[in-house]
Amino acid sequence: MLHRQQVLAVALVLVAVSVLAVAIYWYGDLRSLKKPAWLELGSFVVYEQAIAWADHQQVENMSWVVAKLEDDTAIVHLISHGVDTSSGNVVITKGEANWTINAISREILNSSDHNYDGEKNPFWIEKDVGIGSSVDILYGINTISGNESIYVLGMQRDCWIVEYNWPTSAMKRWYDKSSGIVLKIQVVLHRQDITVETTETAIHTNINLKS
């Protein structure tokens, strides 16, 4: 009887230790997540969208702005241009959307297009990452594949690189190491025997990337 009690006591201790370890892990993980220091009401980035196909090129703008900020919830207003090749020709379309985002987890809580609900905001990532780190954004979970210094917004910025490859498209994104904000995006689409390359480069912001 004593032996069984000892075994039970050891088992309970092991369970308690396991629960404590899990609690410490999750507590530490949560502490590593926090709202970006630069995130304020009115924070914005404007990007030049250079869209090229065949011997054509069209330049548009893409932007996002924090339209509302309450505690850890941000409403971000987006304006962007897309490419439609369903007719066999390249048609540039304009879209606007509002995303309600958890500023800490980057989860999109509500959006104009509910297909995005539950996904992760792609315009900034966590800062405490490195090559090989996992990154979760709207386009899926991937790892940081490298780093590169690029000239943008009138200065050199050290960036992390995240790349995606799909059967008919590819994407490369440059995230600023200091702020976590995406500063450049390249997308190549192969549709209807047409190849379209879009380069989106930050050209204006009120965010102090050097802070």
- Residues with Cβ within 8 Å of 112's Cβ and at least 6 positions away in sequence, in order, are 96, 97, 98, 99
Number of Cβ within 10 Å of residue 204's Cβ equals: 12
Per DSSP, helices labelled H in the chain are: 2-32
Q: 142: domain range?
A: 33-205
Q: How confident is the model at residue 191 (pLDDT cuts 50, 70, 90)?
A: confident
Q: How confident is the model at residue 61 (pLDDT cuts 50, 70, 90)?
A: very high
pLDDT tens sequence across 146-157: 999 999 999 999
Note whether 101 and 177 are same-domain residues. Answer: yes
Mean pLDDT calculated for residue range 182-201: 95
Note whether 114 and 149 are same-domain residues. Answer: yes
Total domains present in the chain: 2
pLDDT tens sequence across 92-126: 999 999 999 999 999 999 999 899 999 999 999 99
Higher pLDDT: 125 or 191? It is 125
The pTM (predicted TM-score) of the whole model is 0.84
Query: 62: phi > 0 → left, psi -120 to 50 → alpha, else beta; which?
Result: beta
Q: What is the reported pLDDT for 3?
A: 58
Note whether 77 and 167 are same-domain residues. Answer: yes
How far is C-alpha 19 from the chain's CA centre?
A: 32
CB 64 within 8 A of CB 77: yes
